[in-house]
Structure 1
Amino acid sequence: MARWEPDAPGRLAVAALDLFAERGYEATTVIQIAERAGLTKSTFFRHFPDKREVLFGGTTMAGRLTDEIVGAPAEATPLEVLAQAMDAIGREIFTSDRRELSARRRAVIAANPELREREALKGLGLTAAMSDSLKRRGVPELTARAAAELGALAFEIAYDRWSSATGGDDFAAVARKALGEVRAATELC
């Protein structure tokens, strides 16, 4: 593969997932990832600070959630706003062509305690971003926090279901269903 081909971050992510599956996360080096992608070590470090960030890099998702939450119609309830934000994430980030890579990513993370911890921290960051964005809309703090926690739970459920499936519904549909289930479960409490 030529070095000038587009989507270096995507190529690095695919190469990393391939190597993590073949050799394990700990036994894979940045140099091996870059070479597998047909790139240099310095290109790797232009896109990611370390090999862990190939799995977690970027703030695209938190930024998109924030933009969608803040820009949602004023009359929308907090959970409606979060559903709309998850729709946007599904259209832009969790596309059908990324489903298989997401499943592979989940498998690598599940096999490594350090990565599971990083995934949990990323989830907390997304929850905080949702809560802060809801507060910026004028939602009272306790309501914003509760809605963000419910939204984060629905998001986690949806991501697990969507990335485990081999086809079927898109992420937005899975997320809306999970949010409905979470909402219904809270009514039983």
Structure 2
Amino acid sequence: MLEKAEGLFSEKGFDATSVRDISKAAGINIAMISYYFGSKEKLMEELFKMRMSVGLASVKEIAESNELTTIEKIEKALTGYIDRVKNNKSFYKVILAEQATNKNKSVIRFLSKSKESYAQFFATVLSEGYASGAFKNKVDPVLFITTITGTIMQSLLNKHLYATHYGIKVTEEWIRDVYFEKVKEHLKSITRNILGYESNS
């Protein structure tokens, strides 16, 4: 049900998607949506909780790892985020739309709390990097997140621009196997430059 709603929100927008549309796509009775969620707005909130809990659990695990270096923690968090965008493009289009319209206050509050959790993660890992001498340049963790997520979201929106510029035929396979891998390498390069990180190898 949530996945069907997600696809419709991405394609048509939240306002233009009716409860009837969702029930039809999911092959269920309209009453079931009211029973489980109460409203379309509450359904949207549950969708955000479901999708974003995966990322938050991932960075928590990364932060607590004793086997990863500071740069590995940051790069694993970034590549994990890119993979989630790659595998759930519809959801991240919904995120962009929700932030632009700013209508569902519960969703915006949940997004803000999630962003703060990511800010805390990066603040902690960056501090570890400064303490160890791995990172030479001090950066603001919130602006660092803005740089990274902004790059990823713009990459999602501008994949056709990239393909047109280089004369590449856009296919789902190219987007999945080539384009997003290029985005990962680009972000790793940006991150290392911003932080003043130099590999010892």
Q: Based on CA coordinates, which of the two structures has the bigger radius of gyration?
A: 2
Residue 73 in structure 1 maps to residue 64 in structure 2: no
Residue 162 in structure 1 maps to residue 156 in structure 2: yes
| TM-score, normalised by the number of residues in structure 1 | 0.60
The residue number in structure 2 matching 1:180 is: 189
The residue type equivalent to 1:180 in the other structure is S
The residue number in structure 2 matching 1:94 is: 85
Q: Which runs of 5+ in 2 are unaligned?
A: 161-174, 197-201
| Superposition pairs of residues 139-154 of structure 1, within 5 angstroms | 139=128, 146-147=140-141, 149-154=143-148
Residue 12 in structure 1 maps to residue 5 in structure 2: yes
- d(CA) in 2 for partners of 1:145, 1:131: 14
Aligned-residue offset at 1:87: 2.0
The residue type equivalent to 1:17 in the other structure is S
- d(CA) in 2 for partners of 1:11, 1:66: 29
Q: 2:56 aligns with which of 62, 66, 85?
A: 62
- d(CA) in 2 for partners of 1:145, 1:63: 24
| TM-score, normalised by the number of residues in structure 2 | 0.57
Aligned-residue offset at 1:154: 0.9
- d(CA) in 1 for partners of 2:154, 2:106: 17
Aligned-residue offset at 1:14: 1.4
CA RMSD of aligned residues (A): 4.4
Cα gap change, 1:66 to 1:25, in 2 (>3 Å)? same
Residue 131 in structure 1 maps to residue 120 in structure 2: yes
- d(CA) in 1 for partners of 2:129, 2:99: 36
Contact 2:119 2:142 in 1 (8 A): yes
The residue type equivalent to 1:62 in the other structure is L
The residue number in structure 2 matching 1:45 is: 37
Contact 2:63 2:73 in 1 (8 A): yes
The residue number in structure 2 matching 1:34 is: 23
Q: 2:74 aligns with which of 53, 67, 82?
A: 82
Cα gap change, 1:139 to 1:182, in 2 (>3 Å)? closer
The residue type equivalent to 2:193 in the other structure is A
Cα gap change, 1:89 to 1:161, in 2 (>3 Å)? same
Identity %: 11
The residue number in structure 2 matching 1:25 is: 14
Q: Which runs of 5+ in 1 are unaligned?
A: 1-7
